[in-house]
Chain A
Amino acid sequence: MASLDLSNRQADKTIRYSAKGFRAGWSSAVQHAVLLAGSIIFVFPLLWLVSTSLKSELQVFKVPPELIPKPFEWSNYVDMWTYFPFFQFLENTMIIVVLSMAGVLVTAPLVGYAFARLRWPGRDLSFMLLLATMMLPSQVTMIPLYLLFNQLGWVNTFLPLWVPAWFGGGAFNVFLIRQFLMSIPRDLEESAFIDGGGYATIYVRIMLPLIQPVIMTIAIFQFMGAWNDFVGPLIYLNDQSKFTLSLGLRVFQQQTGNSQGEIGMMMAATTIMIIPVIAFFFLAQKKFIEGVVLTGIKA
């Protein structure tokens, strides 16, 4: 895996720019100009989001539009609460995020360990099966699963949204852990065997500490996945009191979408839903990028 660090300052020199002093300076200026223009395009929608969320109703509908709110109007963030039970939605989201993350983090390493380090009849065939399940579009299982959970009386509860995570935590996560564990030399656990350690000891004392980096990656992706999930809550949750943030945002959009007076509030709610994701990204930037690269190339 190529290690790629966003904060990498000693990035290798490209020949084009080291070739000749004058040309190097000039083309790096051009490069800056192009990159700057591009990043403005990419970041602009987010700026526009925050800008709209801080505008008074009057300014929101001004033609031509203005980017800078005059004055900064915080009331959208305050008024939003009366329309939008944010804390209820946040609590519901967090319950699902925490329970599904716990399921993935507890069971995916167990299964990954079994696939990578233990020999049992049928293992290779099972692994092929695991890879095959990754190619199945979720729409195929969506309907029977809904009908199954409906029969179990799980519709309109959080159960369908986190219980499945406790069964191996997804083929992809198992795959990732397995690949990582495959590269560890055998001697490590053999000496533990000689010292009289059992499988449980080896798993807890040797394997779990070794897979910390993958665990981090999986945790980040699971958080993002559960936080952003829309289709799951859309299908399974009916009562507004049980809605997650993404589903709540949808209801908010439906209720206010036509009456344009509430655009500012809606943008405030949207901003609030994005903030944790962005904050999380900045906190775990290095791990996050490593994870993307790892999953993007090795899968």
Chain B
Amino acid sequence: MGKRNSMMRKEAMVGYLFASPWFIGLVLFTLFPIAASIRYSFMDYNILQPPVWVGLDNYKALFQDELFWISLYNTFYYVFLSVPLTMIIGLAIAMLLNADIKGIALYRTLYYMPSIVPLVAASILWAWMFDPNFGILTNIVQFFGLPAPGWLSDPAWAKNSLILMSLWGAGGGMIIYLAGLKNIPKVYYEAAEIDGAGVIHRFFKITLPLLSPTLFFQLIIGIIGSFQVFTQSFMITGGGPNDSTLFYVLYLYNNAFRFWKMGYASALAWVLFVIIMVFTWINFKLSKKWVHYDQM
């Protein structure tokens, strides 16, 4: 018994030793910052002067801050359009690519490539394509005889332009949907076809239910990621015109690193955290209605 005990103690010691980098990191780079962030959110702190405790003032100020509401609206608009559209396009491409035709490997590569382009580089490229005078997009739209929108200069259109840009990366999700599609047993489709089920019927009765865990995961990841949209608007529009692309995290960044309102920015960060948690929670609740785990 004594020997067994000492062996277990040794294993535990080794375990702690091996896990220690993570433990130290957890305390230094996660737990301590979380505690500090909560504290700062109740303070006024501009780095130069020592922080001043202000209680709930930052949170109260948020609700009266017009830019807070604008940035929240812009972000919701972006999330609600970009996430579903990216998913639909990704899935559509995946279904087209889930076939045995010549050159399929090349097609997959071509669709996937844009999603690995660094966001900074993509932003510079798209800013040029959106250029009001020489941008290629205007020329393409006009080539088809359509009136070109004001892309980034029109407050009513700027968000849509950035959403359009986000769709360029839909190939990233495509790879994951494709893997999910390959997991669906072929016999299901064969049986359905024998029963006379059409393409649409097969899609809604076989493909969608069996792919629903993958779709659900992509939805959660997509929402969390899109709520944090930053680089595109920081690089391309700076939040303009008329704050129409002032996204939540851009506003948070401005407060922290342009206005040095560290306390206010911390309060913004916690509100974002709550919003993301609520959305994730709602999605988990809703998922019971449409996500099927019986397969895979």
Identify the A interface with B (CB < 8 A).
1-2, 4, 6-9, 11-17, 28, 31-32, 34-35, 38-39, 42-43, 45-46, 48-49, 52, 60-61, 63-65, 107, 110-111, 113-115, 118-121, 123, 126, 129-130, 133, 135-148, 150, 164, 166-168, 174, 199, 203, 224, 227-228, 230-231, 235, 246, 249-250, 253, 257, 260, 263, 266-267, 270, 273-274, 277-278, 281, 285, 289, 292-293, 296-297, 299
Contact = CB atoms under 8 A, between A and B. Distances in A.
B269 interface: yes
B217 A141 contact: no
Interface string B77-108: 00000000000000001001111111111011
Contact of B121 (A1, A63, A107, A249): A249
A15 B265 contact: no
Interface string B173-195: 00110111011001001100100
A15 B104 CA distance: 17
A141 B30 contact: yes
B179 A2 contact: yes
Contacts of B25: 164, 166-168
A139 B269 contact: yes
Interface residues of B, number: 102
A153 B132 CA distance: 44
A285 B134 CA distance: 35
B179 A273 contact: no
Interface in B128-178: 128-129, 133-134, 136, 139, 143, 168, 171-172, 175-176, 178
Contacts of B93: 38
A139 B26 contact: no
Contacts of A273: 118, 120-121
B118 A35 contact: no
Given A133-B26, A231-B230, A235-B257, A43 B105 contact: no
A2 B180 contact: yes
Given A42-B168, A167-B24, A267-B128, A289 B175 contact: yes
Interface centre among A4, A16, A150, A174 (most CB of B within 10 A): A4
Tell me if B's interface is mostly helix, strand, loop or mixed: helix
Interface in B223-241: 224, 227-228, 230-231, 235
A14 B47 contact: no
B211 to A, nearest CB: 11
Interface in B40-82: 40, 47
B218 interface: yes
A2 B183 CA distance: 6
Contacts of A147: 36, 40, 47, 262
Interface centre among A64, A168, A277 (most CB of B within 10 A): A168
Contacts of A114: 14-19
Contacts of A168: 21-22, 25-26
Contacts of B128: 49, 52, 263, 266-267
B175 A137 contact: no
Contacts of B102: 32
Interface centre among A6, A144, A273 (most CB of B within 10 A): A144
A4 B175 contact: yes
Contacts of B291: none
B259 interface: no
Contacts of B37: 140-141, 143-144
B12 interface: yes
Contacts of B199: 16
Given A140-B272, A277-B117, 8 more contacts: A17-B99, A111-B18, A120-B16, A136-B273, A139-B272, A147-B262, A166-B21, A292-B172
Contacts of B117: 46, 274, 277-278
Interface string B263-286: 001101110110011001000000
Nearest to B189: A15
A141 B25 CA distance: 13
A39 B105 CA distance: 12
B126 A45 contact: yes
Nearest to B109: A6
Contacts of A129: 26
Nearest to A166: B21
A54 B12 CA distance: 61
Contact of A145 (B33, B107, B136, B277): B33
Given A39-B110, A277-B118, A297-B214, A145 B29 contact: yes
A126 B269 contact: no
Interface string B1-17: 00000001001111111
B249 interface: yes
B96 A118 contact: no
A140 B113 CA distance: 31
